Amino acid sequence: EAGVAQSPRYKIIEKRQSVAFWCNPISGHATLYWYQQILGQGPKLLIQFQNNGVVDDSQLPKDRFSAERLKGVDSTLKIQPAKLEDSAVYLCASSFSTGGGQETQYFGPGTRLLVL
Amino acid sequence: GENVEQHPSTLSVQEGDSAVIKCTYSDSASNYFPWYKQELGKRPQLIIDIRSNVGEKKDQRIAVTLNKTAKHFSLHITETQPEDSAVYFCAASFNDYKLSFGAGTTVTVRA
């Protein structure tokens, strides 16, 4: 089966600029996750969607980050305005789960963001 | 929230030897414990996982053990090979909500 797709793969912006990332999950996967992975650390969950509803966004810096998943398929993550500390790899993952399961999360290749 | 600690942060082993990585978690409600392998510049990939209703699971050279009472779980790689060199992450969650990752262990297999 096709994997999780993300674009762009790399992005360089200056601080205070805006940036958006796109994710297309595996077909049929109800749950979609956005993670932030800072160099040398494990992925940190930013937001979790189930279909087009938000399950958890407790670790999303809502003053600058936003995410949506229209129609319960593709998702976009936006940062506005970006700060230097936002430099990281942004990973999207999806799982089949419709809630309450212990389903495997499949990761996309990530978008590597550098904020100058 | 869940807090996962992972040790060691780096591990160097001779080819053919075993490697062991240990993780502890804080939330006693956690019941799902996957392990991911991430090669340089690539996406994390699931290599093995364990649910709370079992104490051990094995898949060829990889095994995971879980001690729910002590709230820790471990990854064991036997007969290590150069292609086992990577960063390994443990994680814990209640079902598949809010998967929390450890900081990672960089494993280097010396030829």
User: At A89, which amino acid appears?
Assistant: V
Instruction: Please report the pLDDT score of residue B78 as a whole number.
Output: 97
Average pLDDT, chain B: 93
Q: In this model, does residue B5 exceed pLDDT 80?
A: yes
Provide, as residue numbers in chain B, all residues whose Cβ is less than 8 Å from the Cβ of A104. Answer: 34, 46, 49
- A73, two tokens: 């398929």
What pLDDT does A98 receive? 64
> Which chain B residues touch A if contact means CB-CB below 8 Å?
1, 4, 6, 31-32, 34, 36, 42-46, 49, 51, 89, 91, 95-104
Closest chain A residue to the Cα of B41, Cα to Cα: A109
State both tokens at A33.
């996750």
Closest residue to A97, CB basis, from B91, B96, B102: B96
User: Per residue in A22-42, pLDDT tens?
Assistant: 999 999 999 999 999 999 899
Q: Any idea which of A11-15, A109-113, B39-43, B103-107 has the lowest mean pLDDT?
A: B39-43
User: In which residue are the tokens 């790689």 written?
Assistant: B77
**Residue corresponding to tokens 């093995």:** B48
With the C-alpha atoms ordered A50, A52, A53, A59, is the resulting torsion angle positive or negative? positive
Per the prediction, chain A carries an average pLDDT of 92
Q: What's the gap in Å between the CA of A99 and the closest CA on chain B?
A: 8
Residue B38 has which token pair? Answer: 């991430």
